[in-house]
Amino acid sequence: MTSLKRHFAIPDVPTVDESGIPGFQVTAWYANCAPAGVPTPILNALNAAVVKTLSMPEVRERLMQSAVEPAPSTREELAAFIKAEIAKWRKVAQSAGISVEY
C-alpha cells in the first residue's frame, strides 16, 4: 500500500511507510475542477452538490465496492492538497534531474 494508512479493502496489507520507508505516500486521487473565472457562488454550489452526493450512503457504498474511498472536502482543502502535491512531485522531479516542459 502506497498510502500512509492501510486500505479498507485490504487491511492486512502493510503500507510502504510501515514496511520501512517512512513518509512514503503515493495515492491516486480525483477532483472536480472548473475553468478560471467561474464565479465563486457557482463554485460553492458545485462543491456543495458534490459533497452532498459523495456523502450519500448509496453513493459511498457503490464507490467503496470499487475500492474507492470518497473523501469530500472544501474547495480550500482541495486547493491546499493540490498545492502540496505539486510541491512534492516538483521535488521528486528535480532530485531525479527531470526538467519541466510546458
Instruction: Taking residues 72-81, report their average pLDDT.
Output: 96
**Would you state the pLDDT for residue 37?**
97
Residue 5 neighbours by CB under 8 Å, 6+ apart: 15
Least Cα distance to 45 among 55, 34, 56, 36 occurs for 34
**Would you state the pLDDT for residue 102?**
77
Residue 53 neighbours by CB under 8 Å, 6+ apart: 59
Does the structure show a pLDDT above 90 at 99?
no
pLDDT in tens, 24-64: 999 899 999 999 999 999 999 999 999 999 999 999 999 99
DSSP string, 13-28: SPPTTTTT-TT-----
